[in-house]
């Protein structure tokens, strides 16, 4: 596995982080931890994971912005309850709720709702990037602190 991570680790991290930001039931944190334990550069790991996850969220935002109900139901397979949860969360906290786009269950639908409600691209990007960067930085920090013990 070490050789695989050295040869394909960052490509795999980017792809997994991208897919994890869609409604596919995937997580990329385990690969971040594995790469950090394997002594990969922490800054590079966090930046690659953040970039992949942001671009995945951006694809969901785009679907919300341009795709409407058909793509939401057929491509993302979002049911009405998941959509309602994201909309309630969004109504409660407004566009600042996009800071929480890294959360399981409601994070990805929040990006979709951001698109449906036509949140500006720059505002969307700043909020989502901040939340995702903070999450991966926290995972890296906890991993490195735990490895130092």
Q: What is the pLDDT along the chain (149 residues), one digit of tens a residue?
A: 556 655 678 999 999 999 998 867 788 889 999 999 988 999 999 999 999 999 999 998 998 888 866 766 666 666 778 777 777 877 788 888 899 888 877 788 889 888 988 899 999 999 999 999 999 999 999 999 987 76
Q: Domain extents for the chain?
A: 2-148
C-alpha–C-alpha distance, residues 9 and 143, integer Å: 17
28 contact partners, CB below 8 Å, separation of at least 6: 13, 16, 17, 20, 49, 52, 53
The gap from C-alpha 30 to its chain's centroid, in whole angstroms, comes to 14
pLDDT at 72: 65
pTM of the model: 0.82
Tokens of 52: 């992949």
pLDDT at 110: 86
Neighbours of 10 (CB within 10 A): 19
């Amino acid at each position: 596995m070490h050789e695989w991570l050295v040869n394909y680790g960052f490509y795999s991290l980017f792809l997994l982080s991208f897919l994890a930001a869609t409604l596919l039931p995937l997580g990329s944190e385990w690969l971040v931890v594995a790469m950090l334990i394997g002594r990969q550069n922490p800054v590079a790991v966090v930046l690659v994971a953040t970039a992949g996850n942001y671009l995945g969220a951006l694809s969901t935002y785009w679907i919300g912005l341009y795709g409407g109900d058909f793509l939401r139901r057929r491509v993302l397979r979002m049911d009405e309850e998941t959509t309602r949860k994201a909309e309630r969360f969004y109504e409660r906290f407004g566009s600042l709720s996009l800071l929480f786009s890294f959360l399981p269950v409601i994070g990805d639908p929040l990006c979709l709702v951001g698109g449906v409600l036509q949140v500006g691209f720059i505002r969307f990007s700043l909020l989502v990037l901040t939340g995702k960067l903070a999450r991966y930085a926290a995972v890296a920090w906890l991993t490195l602190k735990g490895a130092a013990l």
